[in-house]
Every structure is written in structure tokens, then in C-alpha cells.
Structure 1
Amino acid sequence: MGDDLRQADLSSLTINQMTKEQRAELRRRFEEFVSAFTKHNPNARITAAPKVRKWVPGMKK
């Protein structure tokens, strides 16, 4: 079953629809992606995206 999950397309499922094993596989894929990213960019820091402010026409910063 492990190989089935490694090759499974989980993009059509929401987190609430996934089984415990599918969520674990998704977490493993994410951690693998992050480690590959930081391996090639050692100075890269993974941070949260900045908050988006609402645009109001005519308002200056």
C-alpha cells in the first residue's frame, strides 16, 4: 500500500476527505519539497507570506 500512496494523486481531495495515511503522505511530500528547496538554496528562509492589505481607491499609504 505504501507504493500506492506514493504514486496517488491527492490533489482532488480536501484535508477533511483524506485518510490518516493520505495526510501523512501529503506531509511527507511537503517535507521532501522543503528539504530539496533549502538544499539548493542554503540561505533561503521559509516564512509566512505577508498579509495583503485591502486596496482603497484614492487612499495613499
Structure 2
Amino acid sequence: MENNNNMSLSNMLKNPGDLLEIARNPGKFGLDTFKSLSNQQKQYVAFAAAAGLLIYGYMVNRH
């Protein structure tokens, strides 16, 4: 991830190497990537995380 200033969600999906780098060291690259996103994209990430937590809670409660 040489150029964090132009990072967007669509660019991350087009280049899976960036996602792999974030997964290897989420503390460094994950936060840097999140900070480089636009406010609208940060809202998308927050919404997806909230939806994931709700689904996870539902599935755990179901078993």
C-alpha cells in the first residue's frame, strides 16, 4: 500500500494484495487504510461492521 492518500473501497477490492496486507498487520495497515477513506466510505464500513455484529449475535443466540 504505497499510496494511502488515494485508497478507496473499490480499489481494495480490485487489488487483493492490499487486503492481504491489512489482514497480516491490521493494527498498522488497517487503521492507516481506514483513516485514508472518505467519510462516506467510513460510514459504509461502520454499517457493515454493525450488520455483521448483529448477525453474529443472532447466530450465537440461536445455538
TM-score of the superposed pair, with normalisation by structure 1: 0.48
**Going by fraction, where is helix more abundant, 1 or 2?**
2
User: If you compute each CA radius of gyration, which structure gives the higher value, 1 or 2?
Assistant: 1
Q: Under a length normalisation based on structure 2, what TM-score does the superposition of the two structures give?
A: 0.46
